Structure 1
Amino acid sequence: MESRKDVKILIMGGTKDGIEISKRLKKMGFFTITTTKTDYGSKLVEKYSDVAISRESTDKTLKDIIKEYNISVLIDATHPFAVNASKRAIDVSKECNIPYIRYERPHRRYNDAIYTKDFEEASKVALNISKKNILYVGGIKNLETVVKVIGKERLITRVLPTSVPIALKLLPSKNVIGMEGIFSKELNKYILLDYNCDVLITKDSGDSGGLNEKVLGAKEANAKVIIVERPKLDYPLFFYSIEDLLGYVETLFSEAKQKPIVE
């Protein structure tokens, strides 16, 4: 019988959830390899994983990594909006004949929020209901789409400090806030008030993405919240609870027998 350290588990995602899953699995005795989208994400996770791989700094494909480390199971803990990464993970896990497990952040519906299918629709709705400025906190990837609809003058954005140079190509510096973290209800409230915003555009990133604090902060600032809904994807196996996911892995490898990859 092989030890748990011989069981190699690949975790996709440098998210807060991915870091917690890797940390817990490592504590349980498994060997963890975590992939992240950026070098910055890799730096955050390397303390909690046996191996941290930044996709920004490697030409290796997901399949290459699975074969190199003889991965026994793939856990997809990428962001809820990283649909292409999840689709690729599902396909590759089937091809390599290893279990695929999705960790999906729990999400809730807010009665006072407006839900839209994408950021273009969210921007159009915001323009229709806003009489002041509009705060966008949905990530750098979709900022250009939002700017094209709303324009530069009334749009305020909060992005990661590493994304500020990109944001400055789209908006004047007075409209760009560079901050990192999950922010409190109070901070979200005062940013909305200080920048004279009556609408907040965000996405359904769940509690671990700070959505609840954004919604509560907006409510206290008397600002309307527009939330872009998560893309729909048919995951073969998923858990909303990290505890349940870990329990499943525990059962899957209760005898710590490593499953070989089918070439």
Structure 2
Amino acid sequence: MEQILVFSGTTEGNALVRALRAYPVHVYVSVATEYGEASAAVCENTEVVRGRMDQEQMQSFLREKQITLVIDATHPFARIVTENIREACRAEAVAYIRCLRESREPAEGCVFVESIAEAVTYLEETTGNILLTTGSKELQEYTRLKEFRSRCYARVLSTKEAVEKSIGLGFEGKHLLAMQGPFSKEMNKAMIAHVDAKYVVTKETGKAGGFPEKLEAAKENGASLVVIRKPEEDGKKAEEIIAWFREHL
């Protein structure tokens, strides 16, 4: 039986795992966190593996489990993880497919930037409150804003790690919103209004990441959406990979 490894933790990853249920394969689903494990698609032919792996650990796993195909459905901004997966597959001569998240065309009311650092530079020239929805990992970048403690409101995952890191950087009290998505347009609107945000910072996460809901909520609240572009990549969209399954499996 063919052994397939799906690096998941995303909506696309779960869709691919569910699609693989129809084929005579064994699927290992790699997730980094407890939340990823709880939300992972579990089918009769799947086995969830929790925990972050570096490149060496990935290569060891590929050899031990005799993996013949790896599908990288990690978050589009997890660049280091994707590079490690790609290099591990190259080193072990294992087939690799990168799952791409759909992009959205620029829309009115959006300011597109290439990085969080560029977003901070832009925001430094503005006034008004800012709702940050880019997660806790890169919150430190925003502390470069002169008045970040009074202007910025950080929405992060409701995990101990995320909350403790945010507090350590100076985001606390009413300026720290620990919540688990996905969020509807109405929920986003309520949060933007609650903190009186004039700017909402987000990553270009596509439909799966709740981007349309953020965009509509910001527009209806009169706030500007500062969008960090996702990196350009080669690969296939989820529906293309599912079609590939039908042809090759």
Give your verdict on TM over 0.5.
yes
How large is the RMSD of aligned CA atoms in angstroms?
Answer: 2.0
Please give the alpha-carbon distance, in whole angstroms, between the structure 2 residues aligned to 1:105 and 1:46: 18
Please give the alpha-carbon distance, in whole angstroms, between the structure 2 residues aligned to 1:59 and 1:95: 10
CA contact (8 A) 2:56 2:88 kept: no
TM-score, scaled to structure 1: 0.86
1:115 matched residue in structure 2? 112
- Choose from 3, 14, 17 the match for 2:12: 17
2:100 matched residue in structure 1? 104
Q: CA deviation at 1:126?
A: 2.1
1:247 matched residue in structure 2? 243
Q: Rate the CA distance shift 1:22–1:60 in 2: closer, same or farther, 3 A.
A: farther
CA contact (8 A) 1:35 1:54 kept: yes
CA contact (8 A) 1:198 1:222 kept: yes
* Alignment partner of 1:73 is 2:69: yes
CA contact (8 A) 2:18 2:41 kept: no
Q: 1:152 is paired with a residue of what secondary structure? A: helix
- Choose from 131, 141, 145 the match for 1:149: 145
Q: CA deviation at 1:161?
A: 0.3
2:131 matched residue in structure 1? 135
* Alignment partner of 1:158 is 2:155: yes
Q: 1:128 is paired with a residue of what secondary structure? A: coil
Please give the alpha-carbon distance, in whole angstroms, between the structure 2 residues aligned to 1:83 and 1:59: 13
2:227 matched residue in structure 1? 227
CA contact (8 A) 1:39 1:57 kept: no
Please give the alpha-carbon distance, in whole angstroms, between the structure 1 residues aligned to 2:173 and 2:23: 47
Once the two structures are overlaid, the 10-residue window that deviates more, 159-168 or 24-33, is: 24-33
1:261 matched residue in structure 2? none
Q: Rate the CA distance shift 1:35–1:60 in 2: closer, same or farther, 3 A.
A: farther
1:260 matched residue in structure 2? none
Q: Could you list the per-position Cα deviations for residues 97-129 of structure 1 after superposition, in whole angstroms to 9, with x for gaps in the alignment?
A: 221111101011223211111111112212323
Q: CA deviation at 1:137?
A: 0.1
1:28 matched residue in structure 2? 23
The higher-RCO structure (CA 8 Å, 6+ apart) is: 1
Q: 2:124 is paired with a residue of what secondary structure? A: helix
Aligned-pair identity (%): 25
